[in-house]
């Protein structure tokens, strides 16, 4: 009888210990995964969008935007650039003067930069965008994200307008299609409309020189750049 009681007590004690050990083990495993994730270099995490077709869109143009710093005409057959000529908007209307379509932008690579006037990292990266516009290396299309048009125009007038085209994504729906969860984000899109490079967060001088410019050069040489980098973005309001 004593042996049975001791055995039952031992079994109960084992179940009691297991009840506490299982949650503790689960919490320990979760902590390890979180620690590994936090310590992982975001630059090494590839974007699932790379190499895939960019989402189709047709968005209204930002009306009465300040003159572009690097505006020029690009033709799909030769890629020649010329400062001061009519901008990419002449080729990007898609049948409507107030709309810019992704289909009409095809034929040459372009950079899609998602930005907003309320975004502090956008201001931090802006000198790099201006420098890129002045180099006339590639068309730059700005997607104004969840912003007020008047605020966007004032921001561009104060800081300079590097964009050949500016489209307005007032509700952020097109940005959702691109997987944007904060601004700024930048996409390099090739002549066929495929995403070749994605940058999450502000474009730094180092990232411009080490990653974005080589990716643009690879497209110019008919290469296929792929990659993404992820500085911390500014969350949407």
| Residue 111 DSSP SS3 | strand
What are the angstrom distances between the C-alpha of 95 and each of 26, 99, 100, 203? 58, 8, 9, 33
Domain ranges of the chain: 2-40, 58-235
| Fold (topology level) of 58-235 | Glutaredoxin (3.40.30)
Which helix (DSSP H) or strand (DSSP E) does residue 174 occupy? Answer: helix 173-177
Asked if 58 and 101 touch (Cβ cutoff 8 Å), the reply is yes
Tens of pLDDT, residue by residue, the chain (237 residues): 555 555 555 555 554 555 555 565 566 665 554 454 445 444 445 578 899 999 999 999 999 999 998 765 444 444 443 333 333 344 455 456 789 999 999 999 999 999 999 999 999 999 999 999 999 999 999 999 999 999 999 999 999 999 999 999 999 999 999 999 899 999 999 999 999 999 999 999 999 999 999 999 999 887 555 555 544 445 555
Q: Which residue, among 167, 142, 165, has the nearest Cα to 89 in the 3D structure?
A: 165
């Amino acid at each position: 009888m004593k042996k049975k009681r001791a055995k039952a007590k031992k079994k109960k004690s084992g179940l009691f210990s297991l009840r506490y050990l299982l949650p503790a083990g689960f919490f320990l495993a979760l902590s390890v995964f979180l620690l590994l994730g936090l310590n992982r270099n975001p630059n090494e995490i590839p974007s699932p969008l790379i190499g895939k077709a960019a989402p189709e869109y047709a968005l209204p143009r930002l009306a009465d935007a300040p003159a572009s710093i690097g505006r020029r005409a690009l033709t799909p057959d030769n890629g020649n650039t010329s400062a001061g000529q009519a901008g990419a908007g002449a080729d990007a209307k898609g049948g409507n003067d107030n709309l810019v379509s992704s289909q009409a932008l095809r034929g040459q690579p372009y950079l899609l930069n998602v930005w907003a006037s309320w975004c502090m990292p956008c201001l931090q990266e802006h000198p790099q965008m201006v420098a890129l516009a002045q180099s006339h290396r590639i068309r730059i299309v700005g997607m104004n994200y969840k912003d007020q048009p008047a605020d966007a125009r004032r921001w561009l007038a104060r800081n300079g307008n590097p964009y050949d085209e500016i489209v307005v994504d007032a509700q952020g729906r097109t940005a959702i299609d691109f997987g944007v969860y904060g601004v700024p984000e930048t996409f390099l899109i090739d002549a066929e409309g495929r995403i070749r490079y994605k940058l999450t967060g502000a474009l730094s001088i180092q990232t411009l020189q080490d990653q974005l410019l080589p990716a643009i050069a690879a497209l110019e040489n008919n290469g296929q750049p792929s990659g993404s980098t992820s500085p911390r973005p500014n969350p949407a309001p």
